[in-house]
Structure 1
């Protein structure tokens, strides 16, 4: 029996070990298979999950309900009520029309309706105001989406920049390792000095540091993308390498005025400011309505029952059906209210509405001025990026040619280690500058497309 128990314990331990290895295998496979995403996937995830967009959409839904409610204000209301009670003691019975000292069973039912006929067009202007506020909130949702889109594009291109910097840094590390091996062999046979070997080691250390910095920058940009996508930071993602367009084809000779004239009709920030201005304009008209008389019409149907009710002629106690016929009351009437003195409330409301309208007009103009400034700055940035791209491309070609010449001279002993390392450092810097200039130019071109309302893709 003891032997059997030992076998059972060993079998159980073996099962747990196999289970743990299986789980670890699947976990490792999951970690080795990151989710591949391109710019479109990142944008879709960000737009679908962003909390600021959800908040803007909630505000739009609230404004939509306010708009609906203001439209229903034009319709007559309808209210009904039913009550039943038993009363004790001394009281005047309205239905029986007599003073009662005892108990009474009573019931009442009523149906009433009121319609506002005129109030200085206040309701109509409130409807128009709420409609413009709704359109403003819709534009605000688009504004939040646009701002997020631009941020995602910038972050995505920054991640691609850092990825290419990693590739360039790794190439420089590999080159430095090869040079160090050559220096070590030459030093071992006495062809190179310790200073030459130290220079090679220093160059390798510098390039390894550049690789580490590039890797850290890439990891941070990937983390930024995950946060924009609103996904778990532990989720592994891998950027799909896009086929970048020819940079000569992504730029055109735009002027700031051309871009501004097209953007001003479609840009959500301008639409938001325009709709707010329109809303406050109707707010002024609605406030003026408070200075006018208001006219309403209303009607009511009422019936009541009392256990003490009697016929006024025969003094015979009346039953329920008799009272329903006798006590049925119909009322219809007009209600005219004329504002004579309201402690300056309506006049103050009108003045405040006018001030808010003027402030909205100023805000609208500020939005236009700000857009004009941003667009002209974007056009200048694009021109500067074009020039920087051309100059860094030329610098890269020259630095690469210079490095290859210096390396050949170094291999035959016509150049020292300091000259070789200086040439390689210049080549490294030219490589990094060109990569950054390439993606900066692409981003600046996409910014112009963004303001023109063109589709954003790579």
Structure 2
């Protein structure tokens, strides 16, 4: 069977990466576990109900529990019952545990969404890297075709005695160097394809490729916004900020739970039980009492309230409260640090976009100038007014300018997409 080659769009890559990433699957398991914790917290607030039963046989000198006497013989005894208990008050710790479980489930959802966003950026960067390498490879091949034409013209000029044989050798050396560039470019395309495939958990590298061959700089008005306005908007939807804020709220719930340990615990219980003994007899007649009658005669109910008052427990309660307070401050500081990091990243992304935009404009102007200089050098070389070394240098400067233009172009596109991502815009190449 032969595998079918598929060309992937960026949107397909992002969707597939999110659906198949192993770390995301692990985070989803953490989220499922948090939902189970919430169910546990709800169950702790409900009354429990348990049924018990026991049957045993004893031989020799045994205790007849029905008469509370030591007798000699073989006795079969059975007992059973059921009971229920409920916590009426425990310093509101059960309520705080339930609220904490809900917050923990929400925090795990934020952490999962934040990971998905990081993967989206990584996939977009890898996708653009393939585009950059493919466009560079295309330029290398065009340059190689032009050098082949120069080689044919040089042969004619050498045959006519216009240029020396050494110029022809210089052109052949340039052609060999461009062949090496093409090989390196093909390797870079392959490596970048493999990198993206690995992000998608795809192992069939040979049949994996992207749908686009090149991409122009998309129109964007993101720079119409100030870094401060982008930051303020990012604070409202960024999942990493929501996750750090939820950690602060979780720490506050832990503090409330720790404080609840200093209060008394009040609970209620009710139990029902009965028993049977093979030696249980009617004291008047000495006859054994039937099984059903025994269960009726020996049953009973117990009920009541139970209070536990913490008096001294080796400072563990007080120390638990102090540790919870420290955790609250720790997560508050971490939340502030995350906000500062986000503001720094947005400002850096904003500067990167503006600087790479200027770098791209400068690279365009440089390439245009290098091409004009190359055309002038080509005209001089064709009539024998320039040697092949100077001509090759002019061509090399054009090659370098084209490579720099492609590099700055895709660097600019990626920085632009990152800044738009901070502003809440989806990552697309449309």
Query: What's the TM-score, normalizing by structure 1?
Result: 0.90
Residue 246 of structure 1: CA displacement? 4.9
Cα pair distance change 1:199/1:243, threshold 3 Å: closer
Provide Cα deviations, 1:410-458, integer angstroms capped at 9, x if missing partner.
2122322222212111111111111112211111111012112212111
Distance, in Å, in 2 between the alignment partners of 1:391 and 1:237 is 35
Residues 1:95 and 2:96 are matched in the alignment? no
Deviation at 1:43, TM superposition (A): 1.1
Shift of 1:209: 2.2
Distance 1:70 1:211 in 2: 63
Matched, 1:351 2:322: yes
1:328 paired with 2:307, answer: no
Quote the residue 1:308 is aligned against: 279
- Pick aligned residue for 1:318 from 285, 289, 292: 289
Mapped pair 1:213 → 2:171:
no
For 1:298, the equivalent position in structure 2 comes to 269
Q: Could you give the per-residue CA deviations for residues 192-239 of structure 1, whole angstroms, max 9, x where no partner exists?
A: 212211221121122222222222211111010110010114441221
Offset of residue 245 of structure 1: 5.4
**1:313 & 1:334 partners in 2: Cα distance?**
39
Instruction: For residues 144-185 of structure 1, give each alpha carbon's deviation from its aligned partner in whole angstroms, at most 9, with x where no partner exists.
Output: 111111100001001100000000011111111111122123
| Aligned 1:33-112 pairs, distance under 5 A | 34-112=5-83
Q: Is the 8 A contact 2:131 2:215 kept in 1?
A: no
Classify 1:251/1:187 alpha carbon distance in 2 versus 1 (closer, same or farther; 3 Å).
Answer: farther
Instruction: Judge conservation of contact 2:367–2:401 (CA < 8 Å) in 1.
Output: yes
Show structure 2 runs of 5+ residues with no match: none
Secondary structure of residue in 1 paired with 2:80: strand
Match of 2:113 in 1: 142
Distance 1:240 1:250 in 2: 26
* Contact 1:96–1:306 (Cα < 8 Å) also in 2: no
Look up the match of 2:162.
191
After superposing the two structures, state which structure 1 stretch, 324-333 or 94-103, moved more: 94-103
Q: Distance in 2 between matches of 1:100 and 1:181?
A: 122
Deviation for aligned residue 1:251 = 4.6
**Aligned counterparts, 1:157-172, within 5 A:** 157-172=128-143
Partners of 2:26 and 2:339 in 1: CA distance: 25
CA distance in 1, matches of 2:286, 2:17: 82
For this pair of structures, how many residues does the alignment match? 429
Residues 97 and 309 of structure 1 are in contact (CA less than 8 Å); yes or no, is this contact kept in structure 2?
no
Against the structure 1 CA distance between its residues 258 and 245, is the aligned structure 2 distance closer, same or farther, given a 3 Å change threshold? farther
Q: Hey, what does 2:404 align to over in structure 1?
A: 433
| TM-score, length of structure 2 as denominator length | 0.96
**Residues of 2 paired with 1:219 and 1:234: CA distance?**
9
Residue 384 of structure 1 corresponds to 355
Q: Which residue of 2 aligns with 1:181?
A: 152
The answer to whether the 8 A contact 2:193-2:205 is kept is no
Note the aligned Cα RMSD (angstroms): 1.7
Work out whether residues 223 and 233 of structure 1, in 8 Å CA contact, stay in contact via their aligned partners in 2. Answer: no
